[in-house]
Structure 1
Amino acid sequence: MKSTTRGTLAAVITCVAAAAGAAATPAAAVGMVPVPVPLDGVEKSLGLELPKVAGELPLPMPGAPEGPRYVEGRLIPEHVVPRLPLDAGLPGADLRAPLPHILGSGYDHLGMDAPSSNLRTLGPGLSLDAPLTAPNPDRFGLPDTQLPQAGLLTPVLRTVPGADLGMGSGR
């Protein structure tokens, strides 16, 4: 095989591999990871109905921090220590438990569904100001003095959790 044919074949294989890699969804792109709890074997071996349990675990996704903002009249920019955003979710759960009838045979079921919900956070930050002001043209370009300032930016937590609790017959 000629070297030009080998080079062309290598380029085609490289392009196909790159296209296949781009088409595959990475695991980090998925927001939640399902977590089933397998109890079927225990249920069949004991011969009775056991609760059904499943859950979802979130994958935290860090965001880009807010950069410092320069403000006219200040020597030090705002947000010296930037706040770091983090997007994730609260874990979800799906539970179904059998409730035997007190009189007679059969089961009712008690179920709880707590779907995962989005969680957005911002870490704490710091804002400082120097004890000197910007140059003052009335004082020949010399800065004025002022009291130093320091501020702590509090963390932020935003979410809306929810759950459904119900009871019914059947599986």
Structure 2
Amino acid sequence: MKPTTRGTLAAVVTGVVAAVAAAATPAAASPTVPVPVPLDGVEKSLGVEVPRIGMELPLLIPGTPQGPRFTEGRLLPDRTLPQVPLNGGLPGVGVRVPLPHVLGDGYDHIGIDTPASGLRALTPGLALVAPLTAPDPRHLGMPAPQLPDAGVLAPALRTVVGGDLGAGPGL
């Protein structure tokens, strides 16, 4: 295969991969699974209006943990147990409850809608300091003792929750 053909083929493959990755990113940004609650059988068997309920359950997507950071003068890395980022969301709920008219026939509704919202989290991590220092040339290459130290890296959560409460005619 000629070098120009290989270069053209590589450029086409790179473009196709970039297009597929760009198209897949919005879908993978906050994947949710819709969960309808089937209450039609109750409505038909009892002959009354029942609430309409639906949910969206998010999927958690683990990210790539930050690798350990080695610092000069320490035997163990800075973050011995790194934090793992998780992307997902809070579940969404949609409920419409029938509100019968006091006089006459028909129904109105009261509805609550909270869409699934994005959630970013970091798992806890651990930072340890060894009970020995790094080898010291001033002490014939022997490490010096020191007090061990341990620290917990706090978890973090970030999200924005929204919702809508409304009433209106019809069901």
TM over 0.5: yes
Letter in 2 for 1:127: A
Letter in 2 for 1:105: D
TM-score normalised by the chain length of structure 1: 0.73
Letter in 2 for 1:87: N
Letter in 1 for 2:98: P
Q: CA deviation at 1:140?
A: 5.1
Determine whether 1:101 maps to 2:101: yes
Letter in 1 for 2:158: R
Determine whether 1:46 maps to 2:46: yes
Q: CA deviation at 1:104?
A: 3.3
Partner of 1:90: 90
Q: 1:38-68 CA distances to partner (integer Å, 9 max, x unpaired)? A: 2233323433321111111111112222221
Q: 1:114-163 CA distances to partner (integer Å, 9 max, x unpaired)? A: 11111222211111112333344554544444322111112222222222
Structure 2: gaps spanning 5 or more residues? 1-19
Partner SS for 1:67? coil
Partner of 1:11: none
CA distance in 2, matches of 1:41, 1:152: 52
Letter in 2 for 1:69: R
Partner SS for 2:133? strand
The alignment of Structure 1 onto Structure 2 pairs a total of residues equal to 148
Aligned-residue Cα RMSD (Å) equals: 2.6
Identify which range, 28-37 or 66-75, moves more after superposition. Answer: 28-37
TM-score normalised by the chain length of structure 2: 0.73
Identify which range, 154-163 or 93-102, moves more after superposition. Answer: 154-163
CA distance in 2, matches of 1:70, 1:47: 69
Identity of aligned residues (%): 61
Letter in 2 for 1:70: F
CA distance in 2, matches of 1:34, 1:158: 23
Q: CA deviation at 1:69?
A: 0.8
Partner of 1:151: 151
What aligned pairs does 1:34-73 form with structure 2 within 5 A after superposition?
A: 34-73=34-73
Determine whether 1:111 maps to 2:105: no
Structure 1: gaps spanning 5 or more residues? 1-21
- Larger C-alpha radius of gyration, 1 or 2? 1
Identify which range, 56-65 or 98-107, moves more after superposition. Answer: 98-107
Partner of 1:161: 161
